[in-house]
Amino acid sequence: MPPAKVSQHQRRGYIVPVGGAEDKDSNPTILERFVERSGGEHARIAVIPTASRLDDTGSRYEHIFQQLGASHARSLEYHRREDADRGEWLSYLKEATGIFLTGGNQLRISTVLGGTDVARAIRTANASGTTVGGTSAGAAILSEHMIAFGASGSTPRAGMASLAPGFGLTNKVIIDQHFRQRDRIGRLLAALAFNPFAIGIGLDEDTGAFIDAEDVLEVVGSGCITVVDLGGLEHSSMDMADEGDAICMTGIKMHLLDNGSRYDLKSRTAHPSAHR
């Protein structure tokens, strides 16, 4: 599913995948920046807690965003497909200046909201300038191809990653989260072996990628983002590998980017943070 078309004289809103476990209390830099990019004191944020099975997830983010200066925040409790038909919630979603999807299980988001007016509204809103972000599972769903589940480990192996359709806000990246904490470099490489067109974005916990309308990514948070670029891929054995086999890949470029660093997804160039 390609990204929604941006109309003339409009700019796409920020896309903000977060690696999970973002600091919500002592130093909520990522969520503060999300509020800022959503309009600051004028921000109206729609929280979508569909991925979570905890009853208080949505209300907790409502409180956090309001504490951080948003004028309004509301949790839209989409837990069954029929919830997507609620007109009042859809109206709030369309009027929001920021949309945030919480963590949990990304397949719950795709099975509950995939193909609904809610998913279409999120895509259209982002193409019209609304900031759309998510943490953990909410980050994975943002791209066209989503890692649904997979195994940990440093070596890419056939069958290590299972892909599913995401919301398709961008087709330039495949996102993985809790990246170094859960040793997910192998499954990101395995996912990219299916689709070398995309750039791999591995998000550490408490680390977010703020991707602007020009497809320039800025790192915000206490960890790193691992960028895996297969644009110069010379060889991949994925087509010959049996289930569980290690995958041979040559010609891979990788960057480790910390807070303030940038990466241009169009030119595939990395820029260290200014304090360097």
pLDDT in tens, 156-199: 999 999 999 999 999 999 999 999 999 999 999 999 998 899 99
Taking the C-alpha atoms of residue 5 and residue 25, their distance in angstroms, rounded to an integer, is 37
* pTM greater than 0.85 (yes/no): yes
Name the active-site residue from 38, 52, 178, 255.
178
Q: What is the pLDDT of residue 1?
A: 63
Residue bearing the bigger pLDDT, 274 or 119: 119
CB 219 within 8 A of CB 17: no
**Is the per-residue pLDDT at 276 higher than 90?**
no
Task: Give the contacts of 207 (CB within 8 A, at least 6 positions apart).
Answer: 18, 19, 30, 219, 220, 221, 222, 223, 224, 225, 259
List pLDDT tens digits, range 29-82. Answer: 999 999 999 999 999 999 999 999 999 999 999 999 999 999 999 999 999 999
CB 263 within 8 A of CB 216: yes
Name the active-site residue from 38, 110, 136, 143.
136
**Is the per-residue pLDDT at 275 higher than 80?**
no
Indicate if the alpha-carbon torsion angle 50, 55, 57, 59 is positive or negative.
positive
Torsions phi, psi of 177, nearest 5? -130, 170
Taking the C-alpha atoms of residue 158 and residue 194, their distance in angstroms, rounded to an integer, is 10
In the residue annotation, 136 being an active-site residue is answered as yes
Name the active-site residue from 22, 36, 62, 205.
205
Taking the C-alpha atoms of residue 185 and residue 201, their distance in angstroms, rounded to an integer, is 10
Domains of the chain are 15-261 (3.40.50.880)
